[in-house]
Structure 1
């Protein structure tokens, strides 16, 4: 009798152990979620890049938080839980040296003048932005694109009084595309995303500024190995192809 009870107890225990083992196996398959803080100008291309990366790395899910680089820097300093950071300038990244690991430049960009569709005000150069009859919008000075904009205007000794100073390049683009401004200075890649809603006036290379995009892992990342792999992947042939197609230049 004792033997039969022992065998019965053992038989009942087997499925319980199997069930427990099944739960552990399921948990082990849960993907790692990487949080990447990225400059607003990377919004469209990084959504594509994230999908491509996840396809190559089925155990990793990538989520992005897009904003002006200065906002991202503030989030990092405040201890926001994230794994990697990509800014639209080296200055912002360098200022976060204590919070990040060594950065790598993954792309470059240039400025262009965004105007209302079909350019009704006939804006043909940077000099035109100083006209009194125009409503010009620029990014705020602490925003990389705003800093680049003022640099190119200063080099041409032009005084432009913006009707507003926006927190990101996408905000500048929005003001122009919605007809709230006649013109604004944005990245060439952002202008491309608004094709059909705005027109553009090129800025000659001799008068333009080059924006560099450094990427780095955060020292507080809870997924250091995966974050390092993602940042490294941004320099891969596939990622660089996506960036070129989006209009970004080689690093």
Structure 2
């Protein structure tokens, strides 16, 4: 489990408590049926659940920096709460959840992997897209190989790394390559986007196709190269409260924070696109 990491650009989130409390209030008093901010079983007369206790959030690896920041701010705004994270490839996380791993919230890097969970069990609330993410090429600092396009990665002299096709970043890269009619044979397929990026950081690869958010989080350890084909392979990120949650009130409050204006500031500052 991952509790906290050092973020590259900490973002101070203001009025989190108010935002989360307003969102919870809406669960019990509003006629709006938005599934991400109101429980399917909540009634108009039910009192708002107390925001306290522990929750476990399973989240895509690309969300590590921004979700850790949001988790820390959530705990500050609500003394007595504790947010524990498990970050990894969305497919692995989905398999863990359907296999019985205890979790309150799932934030996936694609609707496809979220559907694996929703098909296996009924969710307390329907998933909602909260951000989007776009691919970028990560190269060694200074881009010594002069990579300027997706086609450049087909150079047989380059060591290129991709995410495994089963994870969202790998599926998106495959989609971009197919649309461009390019064939790329990587030196390795990695289990999640952080592992792919780390190959470049450690100079074990010359380039990797990852998310723009991961390039930004890495700072001067890598250099990012945008490519137009990425616009055709943008991933939607859904988030959902899980049916087996043992602390639905606090879990819903965390989801409300993620989707709030203040939560979106943290996410867009990390490089995510608004839904």
Instruction: Verify same fold: TM over 0.5.
Output: yes
Deviation, 1:177, is: 1.0
Residue 159 (structure 1) aligned with residue 180 (structure 2)? no
Q: How does 1:163-202 map to 2 (within 5 A)?
A: 163-202=187-226
1:74 matches 2:100: no
C-alpha change, 1:161 and 1:202, in structure 2 (3 Å) is same
3-state SS in 2 of match to 1:196: helix
Cα deviation, 1:212-245, whole Å, max 9, x if unaligned, reads: 1100011011112221222122111111111111
Q: Using the alignment, how far apart are the partners of 2:171 and 2:108 within structure 1?
A: 13
* Equivalent residue number for residue 72 of structure 2: 51
* Secondary structure of 2:58 counterpart: strand
Alignment of 1:13-92 (within 5 A): 31-92=52-113
| Distance in 1 separating the partners of 2:90 and 2:231 | 23
Q: Is the 8 A contact 1:39 1:69 kept in 2?
A: yes
Query: Which runs of no fewer than 5 residues in structure 2 stay unpaired?
Result: 1-49
Higher helix share goes to which structure?
A: 1
**Residue 30 to residue 96, structure 1, CA distance change in 2 (3 Å):** closer
For residues 80-120 of structure 1, the C-alpha deviation after alignment (integer angstroms, 9 at most, x for no partner) is 11100001011100121133331111111100000111111
**Superposition deviation, residue 193 in structure 1:** 1.0
Q: Distance in 2 between matches of 1:213 and 1:231?
A: 13
User: In structure 1, the residue corresponding to 2:136 is in which secondary structure?
Assistant: strand
Larger Rg: 1
Q: In the aligned structure 2, how far is the partner of 1:146 from the partner of 1:230?
A: 28
Report how many aligned residue pairs link the two structures: 223
The 2-side partners of 1:65 and 1:206 are apart by: 27
For structure 1, the residue ranges without an aligned partner over 5 or more in a row are 1-28
Secondary structure of 2:225's match? Answer: strand
Equivalent-residue separation in structure 1 for 2:94 and 2:261 (angstroms): 28
Q: TM-score, normalised by structure 1?
A: 0.85
